[in-house]
Copies of this chain bind each other. A is one copy, B any other.
């Protein structure tokens, strides 16, 4: 009697369409791998191994490593980060920055994002994905915060994009150079600079 092996839970096709189980397993495996070994240890080969998936299944749905990283990051971000609304840009920035840096430090997200940027320096497709797909999304998210500030008269509407750019650059710099310690005073000073808030006021 051929007993059903307990470990025999091979995931199979569910017809001529994408299998959400496989997708989930792959994203989970990718996330875990980045958490454990960072970009250096991140390979499609190992993701496939952990997900119990075939490499072609990964390549079928994610043309480049960057596409996979973007999906992993998106899932992560959606479930963790929310834009604050404190009533003032500089305190919004303060809150958001501390949350973001913590998010980057304490979840795999920091590694994922670093991987994504590194990958973009290697592959043209990844660079395009970063520039044309990922960055605009981030920009749009953050713009809301600055638009509210503009509506409140804290900053000129014409400076929204430039200030958002400064803010993103500030965050990238600290992420990429591994300086995400929660240095509250420094973050506060920079938040004031970006929001145009003179020091001292609360």
Contacts and interface: CB of A to CB of B under 8 A. Distances in A.
A168 B176 CA distance: 12
A169 to B, nearest CB: 3
Copies of this chain present in the complex amount to: 4
Contacts of A135: 177
Interface in A111-134: 114-115, 117-123, 127, 130-131
A124 to B, nearest CB: 8
Interface residues of A, number: 38
Contact of A193 (B163, B186, B190): B163
Contact of A173 (B115, B169, B178, B193): B169
Contact of A177 (B119, B130, B159, B189): B130
Contact of A178 (B119, B122, B131): B131
A170 interface: yes
Contacts of A118: 117-119, 121-122
A172 interface: yes
Interface string A77-91: 000000000000000
A40 interface: yes
Given A131-B179, A169-B170, 14 more contacts: A38-B121, A117-B118, A118-B118, A120-B176, A121-B176, A127-B177, A131-B177, A131-B178, A159-B189, A162-B186, A168-B173, A169-B172, A169-B173, A172-B173
